[in-house]
Amino acid sequence: MSIAKSTRSRTLGALLGVHAGDSLGATLEFLPWARIQKLHPNGLREIVGGGHFAWPAGSATDDTDLTRAVLLAYRDRKAHLKQKSGEQETFDVTKAAADHSVKWLTGDWPGRKRGSRPIDIGGATNTGLSNYRRTKNPQTCGAGAGSAGNGSLMRCIPTALFTASPEQRIQESMAISAFTHNDVRCTVSCAAYNEMVASLVAGNSVSAAIETGKRVAEDLDCDAVSEAISHGQTLSIRTLAEEGPGDELPDRTSGYVLQSLTVAIAALTDPRGFEEILVDVVGIGGDTDTNGAIAGGLLGARDGVEGIPKRWLSELQFRDEFVDIATGLLSK
């Protein structure tokens, strides 16, 4: 059965939007806004690599690598269900995502020496995956309340794209977050974000998608996430890039999950094209690769893969693999 072009385009846009935002932002990671202004007065407009970790141009950082880990879990689930046709689903997609994430942690990964550690890994991610290696229980290994970084929000988008029902998407979004980031601000951010992505992929308006995200946060009794979404609606990405984050985004958008969610919502409400918005997102400074990835996923779901500059797509390490896996998952 053929795949509707709009669904395919928006699905690929979401996945590759994460990768493009990650790879663009990797060059500027940890730099403050004022330094970026001096280096790139017109914004960083090309995927060139480098940065704090000397990334090759187009390389996945931990953001895209861990998105890949979750994507591979959904690929594995479809393969399992195809083999077990007619049987009740028994595949644990959360455990599969954790298993693939451990492969990333231990160097069983494209472009890495087996046994090598990632050159960039967040504290909660390291804690959660290290705990999981010991316990093999994805429900009990998270870093705990108080660890509210953006390290699960950056990887969560495959659930939005390849899980059919809202109820199952919310459950899987929260569970896949929780094996590293089980603070409620993280788990609910992932659930709300993925429902917004799913709404956009379905062809709904930006305003309708945002209302869906707020409703999920409210239903899950997390006012902090709903407020972060509302805050994003009041901000201008263009102004933040021109004038700096200031008091609107204290601590230089350094990795707090709700700040990254707020930036992503501000990006989503910007009517300009994918490139102009992402250039400004990473121009704000701070955790630029992750903010770029999270915003890029929403924008890709909004604009479709055609909205991402072709010169950016051509640089992306996992472009072909992501297209192949996503196309297989969308086919009947």
Q: Per-residue pLDDT tens for 54-92?
A: 999 999 999 999 999 999 999 999 999 888 765 556 899
Beta carbons of 18 and 64 less than 8 angstroms apart: yes
Model confidence pLDDT, tens digit, residues 202-260: 999 999 999 999 999 999 999 999 999 999 999 999 999 999 998 878 665 679 999 99
Among candidate residues 155, 138, 158, 10, the one with its CA nearest the CA of residue 74 = 158
What mean pLDDT is reported for the chain?
Answer: 95
With pLDDT > 90 as the criterion, what percentage of the chain qualifies?
92
Mean pLDDT of 166-194: 98
If DSSP states are collapsed to H, E and C, what string results for the chain? CCCCHHHHHHHHHHHHHHHHHHHHHHHHCCCCHHHHHHHCCCCCCCCCCECCCCECCCCCCHHHHHHHHHHHHHHHHHHHHHHCCCCCCCCCHHHHHHHHHHHHHCCCCCCCCCCCCCCCCCHHHHHHHHHHHHHCCCCCCCCCCCCCECCCHHHCHHHHHHCCCHHHHHHHHHHHHHCCCCCHHHHHHHHHHHHHHHHHHCCCCHHHHHHHHHHHHHHCCCHHHHHHHHHHHCCCHHHHHHHCCCCCCHHHHCCEHHHHHHHHHHHHHCCCCHHHHHHHHHHCCCCHHHHHHHHHHHHHHHHCHHHCCHHHHCCCCCHHHHHHHHHHHHCC
Where in the sequence is the domain holding 165, given as residue range(s)? 5-330
Among candidate residues 149, 123, 146, the one with its CA nearest the CA of residue 257 = 149
Q: In this structure, how many other beta carbons lie within 10 angstroms of the beta carbon of residue 116? A: 12
Is 63 annotated as ligand-binding?
A: yes
Among candidate residues 250, 277, 230, the one with its CA nearest the CA of residue 33 = 250
Beta carbons of 26 and 59 less than 8 angstroms apart: yes
Please enumerate in sequence order all residues whose Cβ is within 8 A of that of 305, keeping only pairs 6 or more positions apart, or say none: 9, 10, 12, 13, 16, 313
Model confidence pLDDT, tens digit, residues 108-118: 999 999 999 99
Is 219 annotated as ligand-binding?
A: no
Is 65 annotated as ligand-binding?
A: no
Give the model's pLDDT for residue 41: 96
State both tokens at 6: 């709009």
Looking at residue 44, which CATH number applies to its domain? Answer: 1.10.4080.10
**Alpha carbon distance 329, 303 (integer Å):** 20
Is 180 annotated as ligand-binding?
A: no
**Alpha carbon distance 159, 157 (integer Å):** 5
pTM across the whole model = 0.96
| Total domains in the fold of the chain | 1
Amino acid of residue 82: K
- Bridge partners (DSSP) listed for residue 149: 256
